[in-house]
Amino acid sequence: MTIRTTTKSVTFIHPFVLGDLDEVFPPGAYGVETDEERVEGVAFIAFRRVSVVFHLPSRTGNPVLARAITMHPRELDAALLRDTGPAAAKTS
């Protein structure tokens, strides 16, 4: 199985929550790494998203203590959709 990882930034314009976390995160740009696996058995090259690592700053502001949350790609899509509507949810 072939896995590829892409890195990009997503921007939230409102405070937001992710998945079942009880924390509200401030608006801003956040780094995201997306793992995709190759879909086998099709006549063309295709990948599907299997996980997302969402990078968060530390609660104290110390960059050494930065955090990362692994989530299903749909959780990020849902958070973006709640933030700005359907156009923002296109993360792939």
d(CA 2, CA 85): 32
d(CA 84, CA 32): 18
What are the phi and psi torsion angles at 76 (to 5°)? -65, -45
Indicate the domain borders of the chain: 3-89
Q: Model's pTM, two decimal places?
A: 0.77
pLDDT tens-digit readout, 43-65: 898 999 999 999 988 777 777 78
Which among 33, 17, 22, 35 has a CA at the least distance from the CA of 80?
A: 17
pLDDT tens-digit readout, 9-48: 999 999 999 888 888 999 999 999 999 999 988 889 899 9
The strand order across the sheet containing 47-56 reads 3-12, 28-38, 47-56, 67-71
